[in-house]
A and B are shown apart, each in its own frame.
Chain A
C-alpha cells in the first residue's frame, strides 16, 4: 500500500501531469459554461488527445473535464437562466433571480464552493468505498457478474428514458454494436462483412464522438437556425460589496445545504442510470423542505444554488465507484471513462486494484488535484467565464465539427473511423429527436464484450445447465431484481397510458429532460 502510494505520488505530482489536470478542469469548465454544450461531448472529443499520456494522467485529465463540466454548467444557469446541462436546471431557480437582484458574483461563488465541497466529499467516499466493494466483488464468478450486468442494463433502461421500451431497444442496439469483430472463441471474423477495419470491433471513438458529439451539433444547428447566433448579455451586477461576498448568516444556511446536497448526490451517483439531474432536484426539494424560510426559495435563496450544485458535482466521483469496484458504468460520462480505461490497457472492475493498484492511487491523487484545480479555476476565472458564454455559436459549432473529425481519425482506424463517426452522428440525431436513451446505448456498447465473455464462461462452467443458477444466490437475486425492474416499468408504462391523457398535464420528471451526464 505504502509502496503503491509513493509510486502514485511520483506519477501524478509532476509539472506536466498537474498541467494536464488543470487543463482538463479548465476545458470542462469552458464547455460546461457554454449553453448547449456538455461535458460528455468534451470527454468524447478529448479522449483521442490522451493517447500519448500515461494511463493515470489520461484518466485524471478526463475526470478533470468531467468535474469542470459539472461545475461550469452553473455559469450560464446563473447568468443567463439557460442551464448548461440538464443537471443545472434547478440552479436556475435561485441562481438567476440572484443575478436579477445584482448578486451574480455571490451566486457564482456559492455555486463553485458548493461544487468543490460536494466533489471533495464524494471523492472521499469513493476512496473509502471502492476498494472495499472490489474486495467483495473479487469473489464473484462469471455467473454472478453476468447477472449483475443484465440487472444494470435493465435498471438503467428502466430509469433513464421516457419510454422503457425505447431505452431497452437502445441498450440492445448498443450491445449488438459490440458483436462485430474477431470471435473470442473461434478466432474467426463475425459480422465484419469482409471489412478488415472491423476485425478489432467498431471503434469506440467513432461511436462515442458520433452519437454524443456530432449528433449534438446537428441538433444544435437544427434548433438554433432561426437567426439567434448569440445569447443576450446577463444583467449587470449591483457593485455593492455585500452583493458579491457570502455573509456570515448566509454561510450558516449554506453549509447544511451543501452537506445535504452532497449526501444525496453521492447516494444517487452510486446507483447506475439515475444521474445528476435527479440528484439536484431531490437535493433542492429536501433542502427547501428543511428550510425555516421555504418561501424564499425560487426568489434568490443562496442555499438553493448550494444544494443543487453540491448534489450535481458529488455525483461525478460517486458514479465512479461502480466502475472501479465492479466495472459497471452508470452514466454516459462514466461509460466514456470506462472506454478510456480500456484504451489505456486497464480493466475496470474488481481486479483493477490488484493488477493496477498504483494507477488507481495515481487517479485518486489526480482527482484530489482536480478538486483543488476546480476551486482555483472557478474562483479566479469567474469573470472570464462570464465572457465565454457570449461566444457566438457560429464560431463554436464548426470548430467542434472539425475536432470531431480529427478525434475520430486519431484512434487509429483512419478515415474509415471518420465515416463511421458520421454515420453514428446521424444515428444519434434521430435517437435524440425520437427520445431513445443514449445512456443505455453507450453503456450497452461498452459492456457488450464483458457480458458475452461472462455468459460464455457461465455456460462452460455450468455445462450449459441453467440449474446451476440455483446454487448461486447472488446471481438469482440480481436476476430477480432485473425481472422486477422490467415488470415494474412495464406495469407503470401500461398504467401511464390510462393517465397519459392530452388534457392532463404530465408531472415534471427531470429524467425526461435527457440527462446526458
Chain B
C-alpha cells in the first residue's frame, strides 16, 4: 500500500498542478465581478488538493523508506482484469441503451451480466432480465410519467 500511496500522491500532485496552471485558466472566462474572480475558488481548491497530494506522497515515501512496501496492495492485476471486463459490459450496455433503447438493450444487459457472474439457469435469467425492465417501463411511463432512454 505504501508504494500505491506514493504513486497515488504523485499522480494526484500532477493532476493538481495541471488543474492550477492549465485546466482552470483555460476553462474559465473572465468577467465583471465584485467579490471573487471565477478562477479563484477552483484554484484555491486545486491548490489544497495539490498540497495534500504532496503531503501524501511525502508520507508514503517516508513509510516506504522506513518499512518497505509491507502493506497489502489493494488492487492486483486480477482485480484490474475483472474491473475491465465488468466495466466493459456495463459500458457496452449503456451504449446499447443509448442507440437501441431500454426495452431492447435493458434485458440484454441484465442477461449478459448474469452470464458473466456465472448464472446458467435459463429460466432465472429470462425472468430477471425481463421483469425489472417491464416494471420500470410501467412505473416510469404510466405512474411517474417521465421519459426513458
Q: Which A residues have a C-beta under 8 Å from some C-beta of B?
A: 49, 51-52, 163, 165-166, 168-169, 172-173, 175-176, 179-180, 183, 185-193, 214, 218, 221-222, 224-225, 227, 229, 392-395, 397-399, 401-403, 405-406, 409-410, 414-415, 418-419, 422, 425-426, 429-430, 433-435, 452, 455-457, 459-460, 464, 493, 497, 500-502
Q: Tell me whether A395 and B144 are in contact (CB under 8 A).
A: no
With contacts A397-B113, A405-B97, A434-B8 taken as known, whether A452 is within 8 angstroms of B41 at the C-beta atoms is yes
With contacts A165-B59, A222-B83, A410-B140 taken as known, whether A394 is within 8 angstroms of B114 at the C-beta atoms is yes
Size class of B's contact patch?
Answer: 35 or more
Q: How far is the CA of A227 from the CA of B120 in the complex (A)?
A: 13
Q: How far is the CB of A215 from chain B (nearest CB, A)?
A: 10
Q: Tell me whether B110 and A163 are in contact (CB under 8 A).
A: no
Q: Tell me whether B31 and A165 are in contact (CB under 8 A).
A: no
Q: How far is the CA of A47 from the CA of B70 in the complex (A)?
A: 42
List A contacts of B111 (CB < 8 A): 398
Q: Tell me whether B118 and A186 are in contact (CB under 8 A).
A: no
Q: How far is the CB of B72 from chain A (nearest CB, A)?
A: 11
Considering only residues 100-149 of chain B, those with a C-beta below 8 Å from chain A are: 102, 106, 109-111, 113-114, 116-119, 124, 128-129, 132-133, 136, 139-140, 143-146, 148-149
With contacts A455-B36, A497-B59 taken as known, whether A51 is within 8 angstroms of B146 at the C-beta atoms is yes
With contacts A409-B149, A433-B75 taken as known, whether A393 is within 8 angstroms of B46 at the C-beta atoms is no
Q: Tell me whether B42 and A433 are in contact (CB under 8 A).
A: no
With contacts A169-B53, A179-B41, A179-B45 taken as known, whether A399 is within 8 angstroms of B146 at the C-beta atoms is no
Q: How far is the CB of B124 from chain A (nearest CB, A)?
A: 7
List A contacts of B91 (CB < 8 A): 422
Q: Tell me whether B117 and A402 are in contact (CB under 8 A).
A: no
Q: Which B residues have a C-beta under 8 Å from some C-beta of A?
A: 4-5, 8-9, 12, 19, 23-24, 27-36, 38, 41-42, 45-46, 48-49, 52-53, 55-56, 59, 62-63, 66-67, 70, 74-75, 79, 82-83, 86-87, 90-91, 93-94, 97-98, 102, 106, 109-111, 113-114, 116-119, 124, 128-129, 132-133, 136, 139-140, 143-146, 148-149
Closest to B110 in A: A398
Q: How far is the CA of A490 from the CA of B79 in the complex (A)?
A: 32
List A contacts of B102 (CB < 8 A): 406
Q: How far is the CB of B104 from chain A (nearest CB, A)?
A: 13
Q: Tell me whether A402 and B106 are in contact (CB under 8 A).
A: yes
Q: How far is the CA of A398 from the CA of B30 in the complex (A)?
A: 46
List A contacts of B86 (CB < 8 A): 218, 221-222
Q: How far is the CB of A502 from chain B (nearest CB, A)?
A: 5
Q: How far is the CA of A464 from the CA of B33 in the complex (A)?
A: 13
Q: Assuming A52-B144, A401-B90, what are 5 further A-B pairs, CB within 8 angstroms? A: A163-B56, A406-B136, A409-B149, A415-B149, A422-B91
Q: Tell me whether B82 and A225 are in contact (CB under 8 A).
A: yes
List A contacts of B35 (CB < 8 A): 185, 455-457, 459-460, 464
With contacts A165-B59, A189-B29, A433-B75 taken as known, whether A405 is within 8 angstroms of B93 at the C-beta atoms is yes
Q: Tell me whether B33 and A179 are in contact (CB under 8 A).
A: no
Q: Tell me whether A393 and B117 are in contact (CB under 8 A).
A: yes
With contacts A183-B38, A395-B114 taken as known, whether A172 is within 8 angstroms of B45 at the C-beta atoms is yes
Q: How far is the CB of A267 from chain B (nearest CB, A)?
A: 30
With contacts A172-B52, A222-B79, A459-B35 taken as known, whether A188 is within 8 angstroms of B29 at the C-beta atoms is yes
List A contacts of B28 (CB < 8 A): 183, 190-191
- Select B74's contact among A166, A180, A434, beta carbons within 8 Å: A434
Q: How far is the CB of A359 from chain B (nearest CB, A)?
A: 21
